[in-house]
């Protein structure tokens, strides 16, 4: 790995009590270029602009995918990643679906650890605080030709993070727009998936909702995801979540919630969830909770569902009553080293880069 430390670090001006998530970037980044059929050297360099042409194929033809993950700092200042091997596997799954070259484990995991170690002082401590990390792959070849590109870049950038949603949100159940279709790229973290979601979300927000629950493209009768999150539904004391498929992303937070629910002995059913079942459960009082999970948000509890012009309110539960909040606490306590990790999910980032540079 080639390491170039910043000569003008900005960490001294970083205020962990006052920063903007997604717009505040740490001092360094990882980059690696693919050309002539192979990846080159991994470089840890100062964060900054890169020279690209408007004819870059990733911009024109959408060959781009990414991951979302976090690093956490415990009360003693130790830094941990959470299940990074799952992100490594998923970015390669996405790259393969978009006909892009896969990255190797050393590039991804060692580059990730080196970056987090180098800029560990950027990781804020405290409730809801973390470092959000964005690995990505995109086509960089300069050519206006609708074909598989020959040049790519793998990069990792990161931004300090705090709680995403602080209050319960209202979501609209979509009866027209869908996030993904059969045979499409719904199971990949393709950049275009997010672009396509913005317009329907904008329409929902104009109706007074914060997000959308996406339904299937053929009938709009079944839940798939919610916004950029996997979705869970609790009816009585049973939790339901749709099975992953070529239309539903295999979320790492989703997988963790399922494991934690099983550990607690909560009945967990991975099966299709019909809109009709959820609406009927709300009407008869058996619908207890609906929530979304994802890396950035961890958990977002829904306070209301919009459907066919009606706003269906959900119960407001305490931490002790809520499965969503209980499982969220179980997860965050593991991530932040406040609890034992029986699953082996937590990965310590050793201090070594700064000592060898």
Report the pLDDT averaged over residues 87-116: 98
Domain ranges of the chain: 2-162+346-356, 169-316
Total-model pTM: 0.95
Q: Are 80 and 117 within 8 A, CB to CB?
A: no
pLDDT of residue 166: 67
Q: Are 290 and 233 within 8 A, CB to CB?
A: yes
pLDDT of residue 357: 40
| pLDDT above 90: residue 20 | no
Report the pLDDT averaged over residues 278-291: 98
- Of the chain, the percentage scoring pLDDT greater than 70 comes to 98
Angle at 81 between CA 78 and CA 87, to 5 degrees: 175
Residue 163's pLDDT band (cuts 50, 70, 90) = confident
**Of the candidate ranges 85-89, 125-129, 174-178, 333-337, the one whose mean pLDDT is the lowest:** 125-129
* Superfamily designation of domain 169-316: D-amino Acid Aminotransferase, subunit A, domain 2 (3.20.10.10)
Report the SS3 class of residue 217: coil
Report the pLDDT averaged over residues 10-21: 91
What is the architecture, at CATH level 2, of domain 2-162+346-356? 2-Layer Sandwich (3.30)
Report the pLDDT averaged over residues 103-131: 96
| pLDDT above 60: residue 256 | yes
pLDDT of residue 79: 98
> d(Cα 52, Cα 72) in Å, to the nearest integer?
33
> d(Cα 262, Cα 256) in Å, to the nearest integer?
10
Better-scored residue on pLDDT, 223 or 164: 223
- Within a 10 A sphere around the Cβ of 283, how many other Cβ atoms? 10
Report the SS3 class of residue 325: helix
Q: Across the chain, what does the average pLDDT equal?
A: 95
Residue 229's pLDDT band (cuts 50, 70, 90) = very high
pLDDT of residue 352: 81
Q: Return the structure tokens found at 213.
A: 């629950």
Which phi and psi angles does 169 have, rounded to 5°?
-120, 165
Length of the chain in residues, anyone?
357
By the 10 Å C-beta count (0-12 exposed, 13-18 middle, 19+ buried), 47 is classed as: middle
- Which tens digits make up the pLDDT trace of 54-64? 999 999 999 99
Half-sphere exposure of 252 (CA within 13 A, CB side): 22
Of 344, 250, 261, 326, residue with least CA distance to 294: 250
Angle at 26 between CA 20 and CA 31, to 5 degrees: 130
Residues paired with residue 302 on neighbouring β-strands, in sequence order: 169
């Amino acid at each position: 790995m080639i390491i170039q430390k910043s000569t003008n670090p900005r960490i001294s001006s970083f205020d962990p009590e006052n920063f903007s998530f997604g717009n505040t970037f740490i001092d360094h980044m990882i980059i690696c270029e693919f050309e002539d059929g192979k990846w080159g050297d991994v470089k840890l360099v100062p964060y900054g602009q890169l020279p690209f042409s408007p004819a870059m194929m990733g911009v024109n033809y959408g060959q781009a995918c990414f991951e979302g993950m976090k690093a956490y700092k415990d009360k003693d200042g130790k830094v941990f990643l959470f299940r990074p091997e799952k992100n490594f596997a998923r970015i390669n799954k996405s790259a393969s679906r978009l006909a892009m070259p896969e990255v190797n484990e050393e590039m991804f995991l060692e580059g990730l650890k080196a970056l987090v170690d180098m800029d560990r002082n950027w990781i804020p401590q405290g409730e809801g605080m973390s470092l959000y990390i964005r690995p990505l792959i995109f086509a960089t070849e300069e050519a206006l030709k609708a074909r598989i590109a020959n040049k790519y870049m793998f990069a990792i950038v990161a931004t300090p993070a705090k709680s995403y949603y602080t209050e319960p949100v209202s979501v609209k159940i979509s009866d027209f727009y869908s996030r993904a279709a059969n045979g499409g790229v719904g199971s990949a973290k393709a950049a275009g998936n997010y672009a396509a979601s913005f317009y329907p979300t904008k329409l929902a927000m104009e109706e007074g909702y914060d997000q959308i629950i996406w339904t299937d493209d053929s009938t709009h009768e079944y839940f798939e995801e919610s916004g950029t999150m996997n979705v869970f539904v609790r009816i009585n004391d049973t939790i339901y979540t749709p099975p992953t498929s070529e239309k539903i992303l295999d979320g790492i937070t989703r997988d963790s919630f399922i494991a934690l629910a099983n550990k607690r002995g909560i009945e967990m059913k991975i099966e299709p969830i019909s809109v009709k079942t959820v609406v009927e459960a709300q009407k008869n009082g058996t619908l207890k909770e609906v929530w979304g999970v994802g890396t950035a948000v961890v958990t977002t509890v829904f306070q209301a569902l919009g459907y066919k012009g009606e706003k269906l309110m959900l119960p407001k539960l305490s931490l002790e009553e809520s499965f969503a909040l209980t499982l969220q606490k179980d997860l965050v306590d593991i991530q932040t080293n406040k609890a034992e990790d029986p699953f082996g999910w937590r990965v310590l980032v050793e201090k070594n880069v700064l000592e060898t540079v």
